[in-house]
Amino acid sequence: MPELPEVETICTALRKVLLGAKITAAEQNGKLRKEHCTEELNAFCKNKKIEKINRRGKYILIEFSDKSGLILHLGMTGAFVVDNDIENCLKHERTSWFLADGRRWRYNDARRFGAVQICEAEMGFDKHPALKNLGIEPLSAGFNGAYLKKITENSRMPIKNFIMNQNKIVGVGNIYASEALFMAGIAPDTVAGKISLQKCNALVKAIKEVLKAAIKAGGSTIKDFHSVNGEEGLFANELKVYGRKDQECYKCKSKIKKIVQAGRASFFCPKCQKPRN
């Protein structure tokens, strides 16, 4: 579900409601991709104060005032809710944090692909196994055409899979990979190592542009994504190729095609995006 713009949207929303809050207790309700049992999570979180909330790739980093923290991932269907209902659980509530002011912060995740991990102060976020191998932030200044050219060199991976690889570039998922490649005029199955510096420049520009525009729109709600207050993201209305199989390309009126790459759907315009392999 959530890619960089959706995670960024969630971070902004969480900051508004959680900064400064103190946790009195935590509960874990069943398994996630990564989780801790209630006893461990509760012992770790109890009496900690939420000081900072940041994003690294698709991970949300909750930093406590003692420099320890939580590393949260939303998987495909994860969502947060903050309310005052102490009695009832949501249908797919996996984790709950009870706050000193009486509120309850919940992590709800139907498919359980999300993750709730703890990070000790001595370790620090950067060294945590979940984060230490992550690639460059696409909105950082260091992510430019020359950098992309350098890391794609010698790679025979299809460019769409390459830009979705979190160890190379973080935050780009299935929607924005298709969208950025359309904007840059590059077919998704182009061999990464064959892309020219000029095209790398165009792709970097497209990735930055589409991510920024999506953040501005509050992300893309296809079906599941909702921010903390339940709001939908509006960027789904601006998608040019994702989910538009057999519909007309907005640029050239050709039929948008769908192919499957590494098990994920890729959408592209066969006329505007070249070359094919």
Partner DNA sequence: ATATTCCCCTGGAAGC
Partner DNA sequence: TGCTTCCAGGGGAATA
Which residue in the set 46, 67, 103, 111 belongs to the binding site for DNA (CB under 7 A)? 111
Instruction: Pick the stretch among 8-16, 60-68, 222-230, 247-255 that binds DNA (CB under 7 A).
Output: 222-230
Instruction: Pick the stretch among 14-22, 156-164, 195-203, 204-212 that binds DNA (CB under 7 A).
Output: 156-164
Show Cβ contacts of residue 15 under 8 Å, excluding neighbours closer than 6 positions: 53
Binding residues for DNA, rule CB under 7 A, total: 43
Determine the 3-state secondary structure of 34 from DSSP.
Answer: strand
Quick one: CA torsion of 35, 12, 171, 209, rounded to 10 degrees? 170
> Cβ of 243: how many Cβ atoms within 10 Å?
15
- Backbone phi, psi, residue 81, to 5°: -135, 135
Closest CB 248 distance from DNA, rounded Å: 19
Establish whether 255 is a catalytic residue.
Answer: no
- Amino acid in position 212: K
Which candidate in 58, 149, 160, 257 is catalytic? 58
272 forms part of the interface with DNA (CB under 7 A): no
Establish whether 270 is a catalytic residue.
Answer: no
Is the previous residue joined to 270 through a cis bond, with omega within 30 degrees of 0?
no
- Our CB check for DNA shows the closer of 38 and 174 to be 174
Which candidate in 258, 264, 270, 271 is catalytic? 264
Establish whether 2 is a catalytic residue.
Answer: yes
Q: For the chain, list the strands marked E by DSSP.
A: 23-28, 50-56, 59-64, 69-73, 78-83, 93-99, 104-109, 115-119, 257-261, 264-268
Residues annotated catalytic, as ranges: 2-3, 58, 264
Binding site for DNA (CB under 7 A): 1-3, 6, 31, 33, 57-58, 73, 75-77, 91-92, 110-113, 130, 154-158, 161, 164, 166, 173-175, 192, 219-225, 261-265
